[in-house]
Amino acid sequence: MKAIKELYWIAVDWGSSNLRVWALDKRHQILDSFSSSDGMLSLETGDFEPLLSEQISNWIADNVNIPVLCCGMVGAKQGWLEAPYATVPYNLMQETDSVKVICRDNRLDVRILGGLKQNNPSDVMRGEETQIRGFLSAFSDFDGIVCLPGTHTKWVHVSAGEVVSFRTFISGELFALMSEYSVLKHSVNSDGWSDQEFKSAVSESISNPQKIFSDFFKLRADDLLNKVEKSVLRSKLSGYIIGAELAGAKPYWLGQNVVILADNNLSKTYKAALEGQGIFAQEVDATKCTLDGLAQAFSLIHGRH
């Protein structure tokens, strides 16, 4: 394969579990891309450059130096090179912090974007700030809450281009642990889903979040004693967890303008949960926001538009 003649820079989203890479021209248009399951958690510090260099080698001619901009967990302490956290409030449209990686492959000019931290209450994000930056590049006047569902769901207050504050909830990881490793795993082992039971569980958990641990075990009892369908129990487990999250995040969504940044079914799940509370959130493509956010950061760093 010949090198890509129009290649201007390379965007990289390197998370805990996955790697996504895009070859881009001067106008930030995609020329080629690839993805893999080579996430940060599966790699050692010395693995990052050889892996990336091998994957993109055919894109780059031998006598050029191409900017490569990375975001995500690749900048964590256990990643390629630690990129420090900037403190909120932080203006994503005017500021960007990154670290330069010294590469053996002299064709690569690699920088890794830093994340954001909040001192009180203590919180951090790494990667989500790039998605928010991309969202703001299209909706610069947005004032409200950005919800980023995932393993660790973020609720982020954004105003005048700034991340003002945020809270993280470990809801996605808790659901995975409960459904795959706890005593409930046999009771919720289903691919089915019930919107009605999910929404009912959300409302119940918002009203009485202190009952959530008892409600968890009731799912097992309903399986053993009442033969309730596993799809119903799985939906209720998700509803209880997200409901407790919404109870804790109420200052971030009650009476607020909310957008949800996600690419998977979680977006619709959170949208349904919020609609049950009278909040009609807008769904936004998270992959597009990631790439747009990297492009915005690239322009700030290199002064190239």
Q: What is the pLDDT of residues 113-160, one digit of tens each?
A: 999 999 999 999 999 999 999 999 999 999 999 999 999 999 999 999
Helix runs in the chain, H state only: 48-56, 128-138, 171-181, 195-207, 212-226, 230-248, 250-253, 265-275, 286-302
For residue 305, pLDDT beyond 70: no
For residue 1, pLDDT beyond 90: no
| Residue 4 pLDDT level (bands cut at 50, 70, 90) | confident
Q: Which of 113, 142, 166 is the last residue of a domain?
A: 113
Asked whether residue 216 is domain-assigned, the answer is yes
pTM over 0.85: yes
- Domain of 136, CATH number, reads 3.30.420.310
For residue 100, pLDDT beyond 60: yes
Question: Do β-strands 116-119 and 86-87 pair in parallel, antiparallel, or remain unpaired?
Answer: parallel
Q: What is the pLDDT of residue 247?
A: 97
The verdict on 271 and 222 lying in the same domain is yes
| Residue 25 pLDDT level (bands cut at 50, 70, 90) | very high
Asked whether residue 300 is domain-assigned, the answer is no
252, 145 Cβ separation under 8 angstroms:
yes
- Express as a percent the part of the chain with pLDDT over 90: 92
The verdict on 63 and 133 lying in the same domain is no
CA 280-251-148 angle, 5° bins: 60
pLDDT digits (tens, 9 = 90+) for 216-267: 999 999 999 999 999 999 999 999 999 999 999 999 999 999 999 998 789 9
Q: Which amino acid is at 79?
A: G
pLDDT digits (tens, 9 = 90+) for 196-225: 999 999 999 999 999 999 999 999 999 999
Asked whether residue 293 is domain-assigned, the answer is no
Kindly state the average pLDDT of the residues 4-22: 93
Please give the tally of structural domains in the chain: 2
Q: Which of 86, 113, 140 is the last residue of a domain?
A: 113
As a whole number of angstroms, the distance between CA 297 and CA 304 comes to 10
As a whole number of angstroms, the distance between CA 93 and CA 177 comes to 37
| Residue 3 pLDDT level (bands cut at 50, 70, 90) | confident
Angle between helices 195-207 and 230-248 (to 10 degrees): 40
Phi, psi of 259 (to 5 degrees): -120, 150
Asked whether residue 193 is domain-assigned, the answer is yes
The verdict on 270 and 149 lying in the same domain is yes
Kindly state the average pLDDT of the residues 171-198: 96
| Residue 12 pLDDT level (bands cut at 50, 70, 90) | very high
The verdict on 187 and 235 lying in the same domain is yes
Q: What is the pLDDT of residue 303?
A: 76
Domain extent, residue 236, equals: 127-288
| Residue 2 pLDDT level (bands cut at 50, 70, 90) | low
Asked whether residue 93 is domain-assigned, the answer is yes
The verdict on 76 and 191 lying in the same domain is no
Asked whether residue 118 is domain-assigned, the answer is no
The verdict on 136 and 84 lying in the same domain is no
The verdict on 4 and 135 lying in the same domain is no
